[in-house]
A = this chain, B = another copy of it.
Amino acid sequence: MVKARSSIALVLFIMFLCVSSSYQTKKKQHKPCKQLVLYFHDVVYNGNNAANATSSMVAARQGINLTNLGNQFHFGSMVIFDDPITLDNNFHSKPIGRAQGMYFYDTKNTFTAWLGFSFTFNSTDHQGTINFIGADPLMNKTREISVVGGTGDFFMHRGIATLMTDSFESEVYFRLRVDINFYECW
């Protein structure tokens, strides 16, 4: 009789273990499954730097010349870019990929932007792409955008990218540091 009871207790305990371990799989991990720190470099076309420019304004509010970022805070100005990605903060380091996409300024009374772009890699370091969208309140020290998907080495990955302005030289050059934390890795 005692044995039977302990058997039942054990069985219930196992059932509890099974169910609880199953439920644990529903809890998502907040610890990154992969991390990258990269830099990218944007040289905005200003009418005189066609050879070096990596980006260009292509749209703006009525009456604004596309060779300068125009009105205060640049509200409405859209830039398309193809920027080199490097492993360190040196513009002259060998690029390991390209940051390709767009950003546009979207506030009237401060500097904020909205970003839609991809990192494209085709090197020994990485193969494939990482796709990003999100809001960039660029006066903040750090800003977080979404990694919404990827291909190749980053097949189906999702995560968060933290942007930091690493350098800013008037309105011609800026460099962003991007800390990518993937939380869904496949």
Contacts and interface: CB of A to CB of B under 8 A. Distances in A.
A148 interface: yes
Interface string A57-87: 1111110011100000001111011100000
A108 interface: yes
Interface string A37-65: 00000000101000000001111111001
Given A26-B25, A146-B150, A184-B156, A59 B61 contact: no
Given A17-B15, A28-B186, A61 B76 contact: no
Contact of A107 (B66, B100, B102): B100
Interface stretch (A88-96, A130-138, A168-176): A130-138
B61 A60 contact: no
Contacts of A184: 156
Interface size class of A (residues with CB under 8 A): 35 or more
A103 to B, nearest CB: 11
A139 interface: no
28 contacts: A10-B11, A14-B15, A18-B18, A22-B24, A30-B186, A58-B60, A58-B77, A58-B104, A59-B59, A59-B78, A75-B82, A80-B104, A80-B114, A81-B106, A100-B107, A101-B114, A102-B114, A114-B116, A118-B135, A120-B135, A129-B135, A131-B133, A131-B135, A131-B146, A134-B149, A146-B148, A147-B149, A155-B160
Interface of A: 3-4, 7, 10-11, 14-15, 17-19, 21-26, 28, 30, 45, 47, 56-62, 65-67, 75-78, 80-82, 98, 100-102, 104-108, 112, 114, 116-118, 120, 128-129, 131, 133-135, 137, 144-152, 155-156, 158-160, 183-184, 186
